[in-house]
Amino acid sequence: MKLNFFFFFFFLPINYLAGFDARFPNTNQTKHCWQNYVDYYKCINARGEDFAPCKQFFRAYHALCPNEWIEKWDTLREEGRNPSNFEV
């Protein structure tokens, strides 16, 4: 298992790292992850999926959030049970 971690950490290219956000200065990035998820869907609802700045939020939440969380939130959003309002 240590070999796998070493391989993934040092040899795989990093596509994107979320930048610093002054609203989330602490080490726990859970709220930062959630806020980027919400901001992405607000952005595409307001501007459409082809609006390039929305992709910044998409890349950020994919870099910060575990895949399991994203899958769960997508399911809740599709069912209309998500606690956040994605309308602008």
Provide CB contacts within 8 A for 87, sequence distance 6+: 42, 45
What pLDDT does 87 receive?
Answer: 74
Q: What topology does CATH give the domain 29-88?
A: Arc Repressor Mutant, subunit A (1.10.10)
Q: Is the pTM higher than 0.85?
A: no
Angle between helices 54-64 and 30-47 (to 10 degrees): 150
Q: How confident is the model over 12-71, as pLDDT tens digits?
A: 455 556 677 776 666 777 888 999 999 999 999 999 988 999 999 999 999 999 999 999
Q: CB neighbours (10 Å) of residue 7? A: 10
What pLDDT does 12 receive?
Answer: 47
